[in-house]
Structure 1
């Protein structure tokens, strides 16, 4: 009688293990069919930075850029301005995303403690020469892309 019970327990364990292995293989096969870049998460904040960065760099994904932008704005000062500049530049230059042009120069001005809330009253005269040149080149680029006018650029105190 004891042998029959042990035999049944052994068979039960054997079949239940086989079922788990088959289920695991099925799950893995189904995952291969799903394009992970197209998966929408429950919360946009759950998406990891690497995924967002890849979407910005490769596809110019505006939603991914906006999520990165607002995440960077919520974090510490130094990192946020540098990070915003990197991805804003990509979105402006490569994908011509209008808001990114402004995010880029806002970040530079913020990094240097310059009030950028009123464009015609921006004063970049106290910036270091190299940073000032970088910003002036960016403004010229914005003129070329018709994001600002020459008159607006001329109103900036240099």
Structure 2
């Protein structure tokens, strides 16, 4: 093959690759689907809920993760030693065009928040902004969902120290 023919062949191959819509997008999306599927399954463990006033409660929680394509649902329930319980539902979806995640957080005692953020490695960092539906709105916070070797960690941190609630959960796969 002459240099001229080789150049034409390479140019044609490059055009074919570029003409495939979303090839890089599909590759990135398959990486996100792999991350989301790693959060699928049953998880249980302990954690702490710290209130703005400084008091804290120990929690025992169970979550079920269900992934379908670019969507993830985490349904959980947490109880305290005082036999108080709450259910939590986190719904997320990944947008392959923007590379961002968006969704909602709903808790049975009245917290409703919109979630938005990005993933770096095994950590998904989401802005946590309560909506007008929330019973007692708190200042904005950050929800982090981290995939760890033997489970998942969920952390909620308020953006204004001394206000809102902080949550730390360490959950192991069942």
TM-score normalised by structure 2 residue count: 0.25
TM-score normalised by structure 1 residue count: 0.27
Rg (Cα) greater in structure: 1
Q: Where is the helix percentage greater, Structure 1 or Structure 2?
A: 1
Q: Where is the strand percentage greater, Structure 1 or Structure 2?
A: 2
For CA contacts below 8 A with separation 6 or more, give which structure has more relative contact order: 2
